[in-house]
């Protein structure tokens, strides 16, 4: 079974600065997808960015980018030019490529609370 670990329960950053959230995972599969979800106080789960494991190039979405290290099973999220609206809980998640034995399950890490200081 796959596991996802976020070792930073809380992080903080100054507005306009850069912050990196860490995520590691464990799997025996070679093809899979990784995601970062944002959960603001409204509780809505918002997809921030996704990465296909077969792609070496790191995904980027505006101010959000990832550092995907497949051999190390590491998937960190970098937020550049942090804004007050980035304050939220962030979850790292794993999903198998084609269902596999996990039947489409999204496996989540424990979450990291990000605080943005003005």
The footprint of other proteins (CB under 8 A) covers 4, 6, 9, 32-33, 35, 42-45, 47, 50, 52, 91, 93, 95-99, 103-106, 108-111
**Taking Cα atoms as reference points, which of 30, 35, 10, 29 lies closest to residue 21?**
10
Closest distance between other proteins and the C-beta of residue 16, in Å? 29
CB closer to other proteins, 3 vs 18: 3
CB closer to other proteins, 15 vs 99: 99
What number of CA atoms fall less than 13 Å from residue 27's CA on the CB side? 26
Compute the chain's Rg from CA coordinates: 14
């Amino acid at each position: 079974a796959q596991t996802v670990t976020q070792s930073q329960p809380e992080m903080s950053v100054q507005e306009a600065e850069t912050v990196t959230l860490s995520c590691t995972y464990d799997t025996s599969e070679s093809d899979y997808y990784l995601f970062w979800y944002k959960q603001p106080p409204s509780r809505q789960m918002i997809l921030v960015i996704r990465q296909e494991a077969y792609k070496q190039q790191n995904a980027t979405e505006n101010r959000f980018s990832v550092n995907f290290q497949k051999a190390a099973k590491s998937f960190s999220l970098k937020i550049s030019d942090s804004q007050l609206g980035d304050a939220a809980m962030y979850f790292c998640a794993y999903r198998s490529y084609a269902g596999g034995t996990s039947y489409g399950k999204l496996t989540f890490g424990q979450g990291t609370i990000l605080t943005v200081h003005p």
